[in-house]
Amino acid sequence: MIDFKKLEKVAFERGFSRVGVSFPEVESFFVEKLKYWIEKGYHKGLEWYRRGLGSRINPLSVLPWAKAVVVFVDNYFYSATNTFCSGSEKIYPMVSKYAIGVDYHGFIRKRIKQALKLIQKEVPELQWKVCVDTCPFLEKVYAVQAGLGWYGKNSLVIFPGLGSFCFIGIAFLNQEVSGYKRPQVLDGCKDCDKCIRACPGGAIAEPYFLDVDRCVSFLTVEKKGAFSVREKELVARAGYIFGCDICQDACPWNKRHLKETHNKGYYENVEIVCKDLKEWSELSNDEFSTLFQKSVLKRAGLEGLKRNIEALKG
């Protein structure tokens, strides 16, 4: 048995903004929502999501020893990313805030493991499986089941007092966690539809359901190959060469409750993405590899980024 207060303490000492605990089962409500999303074809372009559906909705089929899921929330918001390339006549394409700094996958995973290793000194039998957007499990669902936030209409989790500019890491544990009181968080979106109206591609096909095929973030990061005419026009309209923050920037909760991140890794290299279209276009493979070896921008690859840049050129 693990004491939540001790777990929370070591997590906060490593810069996490929120910590919560969920049971490993996925509630039937979310299972049905996920199946509906796939049935509607909103997952088009993410066929691997359908293939991994079994373990997503039933993680105990893969991790039968799991007794609890600890959710770690990492705020990455840095206000200066909105203006860091301003003050010039050059045209600077936008990069999503989450991609400004260090690659979050390893940065978060390392700190979660550090926290768990400290707990393991008191609970030697502790074992874990850490996931940061790389496992076939539903991190956002676990954040909601832990009572840390609610599932927003743009399909992102909105955390009270923080907003949605947050990463989520989870750890399946073979031990139960005592002393955690699940907060009661209600859906704060209510009748608001600002994110829906702001999305340039109409990707929020229904409240709480994202059609990835019309999402600029998906197109500029995950899509392989050339853009169609429609996709090219959409990327040009949005103005992003990697990711997209438009629906988050439109969210009233983000306007009122944003907090600056305390983790310098999420913004200390902000200058490396401050390039105009010409500078991006002229990057060589070696330059790209050197500049972005620790960045999530490498996910799109130089070829993908140049495709996105060409779309912005019109």
User: pLDDT grade, residue 48 (50/70/90)?
Assistant: confident
DSSP summary character for residue 55: H
Coil, strand or helix at 163: strand
C-alpha pair distances (Å), 21 with each of 142, 209, 237: 8, 25, 40
- Give the predicted TM-score (pTM) of the model: 0.94
Please state the rounded mean pLDDT for residues 264-292.
Answer: 89
For the chain, the domains span 2-181+189-313
Digit-coded pLDDT (tens) for 70-111 = 999 999 998 866 555 655 556 678 899 999 899 999 999 999
* E strand intervals along 225-272: 240-242
**Structure token pair of residue 309:** 């840049």
C-alpha pair distances (Å), 85 with each of 80, 239, 241, 250: 9, 14, 14, 21
**How confident is the model at residue 63, as a pLDDT?**
97
Catalytic residues: 133
**How confident is the model at residue 76, as a pLDDT?**
96
**How confident is the model at residue 82, as a pLDDT?**
54
Long-range contacts of 189-192 (CB under 8 A, 24+ apart): 189/150, 189/152, 189/153, 189/158, 192/153, 192/252
DSSP summary character for residue 107: H
Neighbours of 75 (CB within 10 A): 23
Please state the rounded mean pLDDT for residues 187-209.
Answer: 97
Q: Cα separation of 94 and 235, whole Å?
A: 11
DSSP summary character for residue 24: S
Answer whether 126's CB lies under 8 Å from 154's CB. Answer: no
**How confident is the model at residue 67, as a pLDDT?**
98
> At 229, which helix (H) or strand (E)?
helix 229-238
Q: Cα separation of 45 and 38, whole Å?
A: 11
Strands 68-75 vs 204-206: parallel, antiparallel or unpaired? unpaired
Task: Provide Rg for the chain, Cα atoms.
Answer: 20
**How confident is the model at residue 83, as a pLDDT?**
55
C-alpha pair distances (Å), 171 with each of 13, 63, 147: 17, 11, 16
Coil, strand or helix at 142: helix
pLDDT more than 70, % of the chain: 96
> At 47, which helix (H) or strand (E)?
helix 47-51
Say which residue, 46 or 222, is predicted with more confidence: 222
**How confident is the model at residue 45, as a pLDDT?**
76
- Given a cut of 90, whether residue 251 has pLDDT beyond it is yes
Digit-coded pLDDT (tens) for 137-188 = 999 999 999 999 999 999 999 999 999 999 999 999 999 999 999 999 999 9
Q: What is the mean pLDDT of the chain?
A: 93
Q: Cα separation of 161 and 77, whole Å?
A: 13
Q: Cα separation of 225 and 303, whole Å?
A: 9
**How confident is the model at residue 273, as a pLDDT?**
84
